[in-house]
Structure 1
């Protein structure tokens, strides 16, 4: 599994209805995309629990080929054409788990990034993070959760999809506009090593 996200920060006076319309008319295009586990179409609106307006899709790729096919194909080029080329962050998958509300459509998401501190044993830190994530994934309202790491920056990322409001202490909070999940059932559960 590979996790990927790009966040497009938009002007404070940007009409976020444009993003809602974009997802309403184009979101279904990835509903059967080969190699995609899931794509959560995430949006934050300034003043609604966010200091900025942003469009920030988050992907869990089942295959590297699927991710590459998207990045070097017409899907991502549409983003580049409309918004410029965003910085694409990606993480090696560490764990994925469906939550107790996995049958419900997600309406909110949290994305939490944590630096792996200097001087700690990376393997122990990652194992501890997975153990904490497993415990938190049992919370009511969790649809699914994933954990990844970027060893070039030593950054851990955790995506949690919620069926209802996201907790205030879970990281950056987003609204889920649409979920494309052609390969969600095939994403391996548990830790990935």
Structure 2
């Protein structure tokens, strides 16, 4: 598994209805895509749930790295670049993905936390503890899918959770500050 996200920050007065329409008319194009684990079409709107910006920020889990590369080389991403410019694409090596207790429900909310891994604690220890915490999160009420990845260039850990309801405050849960998103659509690839 490989996790990927790009963030397109839009002007403060941008009509987010444009993004909603784009997802409503094009989001289904990746439904069932080979090599895709999932794509969460997520947005943040300025002034909602504490967001300071308008942003379109899809989050992907790829089961096949070749499919990830094919997507970035393909016409869909090329069209996005034509409309918004080429965004920086973040990616993380997958650690684990867990199906949640609300897997049968469509997700409506998501949260992403990124934190720096400690240099004085073995990586395996930190990833193991984070994976165990993610398994507990997946069992919580309302969780659709939870995923964990790490970036060995920046030595960061990403935690992404899809939910069928607004998330609890992640800072209270000990995960630090989180980006909170609205999920407009979820595309999933074929199950192996």
Please state which band the TM-score falls in when normalised by the shorter chain: over 0.9
Question: 2:79 is matched with which residue?
Answer: 78
Question: 1:13 is matched with which residue?
Answer: 13
The secondary structure found in structure 1 opposite 2:25 is helix
Question: 2:69 is matched with which residue?
Answer: 68
Question: 1:36 is matched with which residue?
Answer: 36
CA–CA distance in structure 2, aligned partners of residues 135 and 113 of structure 1: 18
TM-score, normalising length: structure 2: 0.93
Question: 1:173 is matched with which residue?
Answer: 180
CA–CA distance in structure 2, aligned partners of residues 153 and 21 of structure 1: 35
Q: CA RMSD in A?
A: 1.0
CA–CA distance in structure 2, aligned partners of residues 179 and 130 of structure 1: 23
The secondary structure found in structure 2 opposite 1:132 is helix
CA contact (8 A) 2:27 2:187 kept: yes
The secondary structure found in structure 1 opposite 2:41 is strand
Question: 2:46 is matched with which residue?
Answer: 46
CA–CA distance in structure 2, aligned partners of residues 166 and 82 of structure 1: 31
Unaligned 5+ runs, structure 2: none
Q: Aligned residue pairs: how many?
A: 185
Instruction: Map 1:1-193 onto structure 2 (within 5 A).
Output: 1-49=1-49, 50-169=51-170, 171-183=178-190, 185-186=191-192
CA drift at 1:32? 2.4
CA drift at 1:133? 1.1
Deviations 1:63-100 (A, max 9, x none): 01110110011111111101001000000110011011
CA–CA distance in structure 2, aligned partners of residues 173 and 152 of structure 1: 25
Deviations 1:9-32 (A, max 9, x none): 111111100000000011011112
CA–CA distance in structure 2, aligned partners of residues 122 and 19 of structure 1: 38
Structure 1 segments of 4 or more deviating over 4 A?
none
The secondary structure found in structure 1 opposite 2:43 is strand
